[in-house]
Amino acid sequence: MPAAIGEHHLYPAADLRSFAARAFQAVGVPADQADTIAKLMTDIDLRGADGHGIFRLPQYIRRIRAGGINVSPNIRVVRETAAAALVDGDNCVGHLAVEKAARLAIDKAETSGVAWVGTRNSNHAGAASVYAMMALERDMIGIYSAVGSANHLPPWGGVDMLLSTNPIAVAIPAREEPAVVLDMATTVAAFGKIKTAALRGESIPEGWMIDRDGNPLTDPTRAEEGFLLPIGGYKGYGLAMVLGLLAGTLNGAALGRDVVDFNKDDATATNTGQFVLAIDVKVFADVDTFKRDVDRIVREMRSSERLPGIDRIRVPGEGSAATFVERSRDGIPIPPDLLRVLQSLAEDLAVPGLG
């Protein structure tokens, strides 16, 4: 048995990665692609975005088995210029399409300075931050956005759920400080937080959701009767909409009524769209000077005088950077419920489980 914190067993990332890769191979994903997906999922867990890593494995496998994802995709660049491209994922596991888009954006930015690559016929790809962060290895800034895989947000003033929590991630390299990594949904709370509160029997704060009469909804077990609120009211609605047009509509991918709820429908192709933008720092600045400047700004923020009762000021990305260090050393905590689900998946697929 692995180490444990409380009831959570701790697994080394390598064990989760090889398990996820076995599971994908068992349903027909070629070994190299299975490993790419498994690595990205494990990176997500290492950074603490637990709702988007190995937690999603059973759903991805179920979707593949239901025919909702193509395990022999022809992922190809269908349009291309010096600084832009469009990748058609051929209904692949989303991680593969976005990983290809991110690599292509980074390579193109190396010669053009900046590059933007969109995807279509992709699928849910996990946490936004991992794709934005791929640019950091090359001293680039990465920006990623996506059309979320289920609509939980109406237009401002409306009740028809036509938008998702369309996230945006921005990763900016620093020198001694952790990279600045913003990874946010355009709603006050992500839908996963509502589900977690419901599982724990907790109520949710006013301001996260309203019901169809416009009243605050604080009982998360009633989530289906209401919808999420966007950040800043009409501003967050506008942001979700323009990100959806950029990540979805521009690429010929789904937005609005065309979005398939991937939690409720395993079989219909989602035609998910995403984009990755890479910006090569050295075009604009001396790289070392820029990183020192980012360090300085990070430290200015952190050393601000604080409001009463606030113990420290955080900078986007520092929490997940600390989690990465801790989990790389100690392992990734897997809650008992999830462990049971993963072990049952292993039996079902007749592959070795987590042990």
- Residues 137-176 interacting with a second copy (rule: CB under 8 A): 141, 154-160, 162, 170, 172
| Residue of 316, 321, 327, 331 interacting with a second copy (CB under 8 A) | 316
- Residues 33-72 interacting with a second copy (rule: CB under 8 A): none
- Residues 68-97 interacting with a second copy (rule: CB under 8 A): 79, 81-86
Question: Is 305 a binder of a second copy (CB under 8 A)?
Answer: yes
Alpha-carbon distance of 73 to 70, in angstroms, equals 6
Cβ proximity to a second copy, 30 vs 233, nearer residue: 233
Query: Is the alpha carbon torsion for 271, 120, 159, 225 positive or negative?
Result: positive
Query: Closest distance between a second copy and the C-beta of residue 222, in Å?
Result: 17
Query: Closest distance between a second copy and the C-beta of residue 200, in Å?
Result: 21
Alpha helix positions (H), 113-155:
128-133
Question: Is 329 a binder of a second copy (CB under 8 A)?
Answer: no
Question: Is 312 a binder of a second copy (CB under 8 A)?
Answer: yes
- Residues 104-123 interacting with a second copy (rule: CB under 8 A): 109, 111-116, 118
Query: Closest distance between a second copy and the C-beta of residue 133, in Å?
Result: 13
- Report the Cα 101 to chain-centroid distance in Å: 15
140 CB contacts (<8 Å, ≥6 apart)? Answer: 106, 109, 173, 278, 279, 280, 281
- Residues 262-301 interacting with a second copy (rule: CB under 8 A): 277, 279-281, 283-285, 290, 293-294, 296-297, 300-301
Instruction: Burial-class residue 215 by CB neighbours within 10 Å (0-12, 13-18, 19+).
Output: exposed
H or E segment to which residue 281 belongs: helix 281-284
Query: Closest distance between a second copy and the C-beta of residue 334, in Å?
Result: 27
Q: Do 231 and 239 contact (CB within 8 A), yes or no?
A: yes
Main-chain dihedrals φ then ψ at residue 221, nearest 5 degrees: -75, -15
Alpha-carbon distance of 130 to 126, in angstroms, equals 8
Q: Are strands 84-88 and 114-122 parallel, antiparallel or unpaired?
A: parallel
Applying CB under 8 A, what is the total number of residues that bind a second copy? 80
Residue 205: which of 219, 185, 215 has the closest Cα? 219
Question: Is 242 a binder of a second copy (CB under 8 A)?
Answer: yes
Cβ proximity to a second copy, 24 vs 191, nearer residue: 191
- 314-344 as b/e, with b when 16 or more CB fall inside 10 Å? ebbbbebbebbeebeeebbbbeeebbeebee
Cβ proximity to a second copy, 15 vs 293, nearer residue: 293
| Residue of 48, 126, 226, 236 interacting with a second copy (CB under 8 A) | 236
Question: Is 214 a binder of a second copy (CB under 8 A)?
Answer: yes
Query: Closest distance between a second copy and the C-beta of residue 185, in Å?
Result: 8
Q: Candidates 9-17, 29-37, 61-69, 179-187 — which segment interacts with a second copy by CB under 8 A?
A: 179-187
Main-chain dihedrals φ then ψ at residue 3, nearest 5 degrees: -65, 170
